[in-house]
Every structure is written in structure tokens, then in C-alpha cells.
Amino acid sequence: MKVLAAAAHPDDIEFMMAGTLLRLKDAGCEIHLWNLANGCCGSATLSRAEAAATRWQEAQASAKLAGGTAHPPLFDDLDMFYDQPSLAKVAAVVRAIQPDIILTQSPQDYMEDHQNTARLIVTAAFSRGMKNYQTTPAQPVYDRPVAVYHALPHGLKDGLRQVIAPHFYTDITAVLARKRALLACHASQKEWLDVSQGMDAYLNEMERLSREVGMMSGKFQFAEGWRRHSHLGFAGEDFDPLKKLLGGFISKPIAPKPPAGNP
């Protein structure tokens, strides 16, 4: 199967979904990594052009280390919108890759680039087989089933500070060191995150989040959380390839115990 991990900025994949992506690679999948935005605003010292070039080099290094294919960005940071011209470009890339599985960002996140990425990717996948929808550039349609899964938002909360509860968790304990190595490819982000968001030691911050999600799972030491998008327009209801491919590495949330005294 082909897997597309699509996120807004270089390092977004590595922070929130690379562990699951590596698990899928180990299961025999062909993996593709795509940052829709070029990261041009992600530096306090480099020019826009220098930042974009640096971050594209880092994204390619991460994809190579993961054993996947990197796809170039389409947009500048904060210049990605859910509109027709943007959708036509995004849909063209999705049709060119023809993924069976899509890992993308949460529809609820702390910034609009992430949310717009989720919307664009979902609609691009939905329109994959619509021959009368024209992409830019033109790409042939494909009509295979596709399953779309949303990662947890950065910080595990939406923009209104509400916790986003996953549908299920993937165990990334055994691949955490590899996930850390992928994130370390984005060396330019340590200074930027320290300056802009106070994220001292961004590699340790990723591990902290992964440990926190593992605690949420009630089963795994380190985990990533996921929500499965509706199957309508994408595949049959029983098309759930993550469950099939990863099997024992997946856990659903533990059902709460009924209050004492209830039957």
C-alpha cells in the first residue's frame, strides 16, 4: 500500500505522526512525506528564501532517512487557504501519488495552516476519482479506496484549549529512537522554536508528548493518537488498513468504568 503523510510545515510530520509512518514502512508500505508549506517564516535569523531552502533540505534528509519519498511544498507559510486554486494544486499531488492511506493533521489545531492542510487534503482525496474536477496541473483520476486518519493537534488540544480525544492509539515505543532521528534532521527548528514558542529542547518535547499520549492509551509507553475520518466518499465502512497492517500495535481507548452501584 502507498501511504501519504501530509502536514503543513517541515517537522510537523516528525512531531505528531512519524512513529506510525515508520511502523507502516516496516509493514511493507511505500511511504511519501509532504509538507504543503515551505517553512519560510520558521526562522528568526534567515531570510524567507534561505529559510525555505534550508527547511526543504531538512525535509528531504528526513524522508531519505525514513526510506520514503519527499514531495516539494506548494505554499509559503501563512499563505495556504482553503480555496479553489489551492485545492486544484493539492488534488493534483494526491492524484499523482495515488495513496491508499493518508495521515494528515487534525481539523482542530492551534493554527490555521494546520487546519487548512487537513481540509485541503481531505477534499483532494474525496475528489480523487472525479473526472470532471480539474487539477493544476492536470492529473488522471484514480478510484481505489483511501482511508484518511487525523493525527492529534500539537499540544494535544484545539485552539480553544480543549483536549482532543483519539479514536485509537499506535504503539511507537520501539520506533521512538528512529522518530527522534527524523525530527533531528530539522536542526534549524531548535532555535526557532526556542525563540517563538519557548520549546526548549524540541527533541525532548516530542518525546514528552509521545509519552503523554502513551499514558492516555493506558497501554503503551510511547504512542501517537489518531482519529479515523468518515469512510463516506472514500471507501467502504470496513476499510481500515491501519488496523489490518499494525494489528497488535494499536489500542482503542479504555472504556470508563460505570459508577459504583450501577448494574
Question: For residue 192, what pLDDT is reported?
Answer: 67
Q: What's at 195, amino acid-wise?
A: V
DSSP string across 65-83: HHT-EEE---B-TT---SS
Range of the domain at 120: 2-243
Counted domains in the chain: 1
Q: Which helix (H) or strand (E) holds 30?
A: strand 30-35
> Residue 262 domain-assigned?
no
Question: For residue 196, what pLDDT is reported?
Answer: 67
Residues 6+ apart with CB under 8 A from 44: 191, 192, 195, 196
> Residue 259 domain-assigned?
no
With a cut of 70, list the residues of the chain below it in pLDDT.
192-200, 254-263
> Residue 15 domain-assigned?
yes
Question: For residue 254, what pLDDT is reported?
Answer: 63
> Residue 95 domain-assigned?
yes
Tens of pLDDT along 63-122? 999 999 999 999 999 999 999 999 999 999 999 999 999 999 999 999 999 999 999 999
- What sign has the CA pseudo-torsion 14, 142, 230, 169? negative
Q: What is the CATH number of the domain that holds 214?
A: 3.40.50.10320
Q: Is 256 left (phi over 0), alpha (psi -120 to 50) or beta?
A: beta
> Residue 72 domain-assigned?
yes
> Residue 99 domain-assigned?
yes
DSSP string across 194-261: HHHH--SSHHHHHHHHHHHHHHHHTS-SSEEEEEEPP-TTTS-TT--HHHHHHGGGEEPPPPPPPPTT
> Residue 257 domain-assigned?
no
Question: For residue 256, what pLDDT is reported?
Answer: 47
Cell digits for 25?
514502512
Question: For residue 112, what pLDDT is reported?
Answer: 96
Cell digits for 86?
489551492
> Residue 236 domain-assigned?
yes
pTM of this prediction?
0.93
- Residue 110 has a CB neighbour count (10 Å cut-off) of 16
